[in-house]
Amino acid sequence: MINRLLSFHLVAGVAGLINYLSFVMMLSLLSINDLLAVLLGIGVGIIFNYSGNSLWTFRRQIN
């Protein structure tokens, strides 16, 4: 149970980092509007968070 909790928080932390980094990259490198960059960054973070938790945190244990 504690392993699942730790992996959930690890995935959420990495998703937050990906959200921020994608926002900064889109804003500075691609010169996208700041509101659009925030929305796209949130979308990238959500996709990573869902995928990471589905594939790692909440995967079904096979005995």
Question: Does 19 map to a domain?
Answer: yes
Predicted structure pTM score: 0.83
Distance CA 63, CA 56 (A): 16
Instruction: Tell me the C-alpha distance between 52 and 37, whole Å.
Output: 22
Domain enclosing residue 16, as ranges? 2-57
Domain assignment present for residue 21? The answer is: yes
Residue 63: inside a domain: no
Of 61, 60, 50, 45, nearest to 8 by C-alpha is 50
Number of structural domains (the chain) is 1
Flag whether 18 is in a domain: yes
Residue 31 falls in which region: left (phi positive, over 0), alpha (psi -120 to 50) or beta: left
Residue 62 lies in a domain: no
Show pLDDT as tens, one digit a residue, over the chain (63 residues): 888 899 999 999 999 999 999 999 999 999 999 999 999 999 999 999 999 999 988 887 655
Contact 27, 37 (CB under 8 A): yes
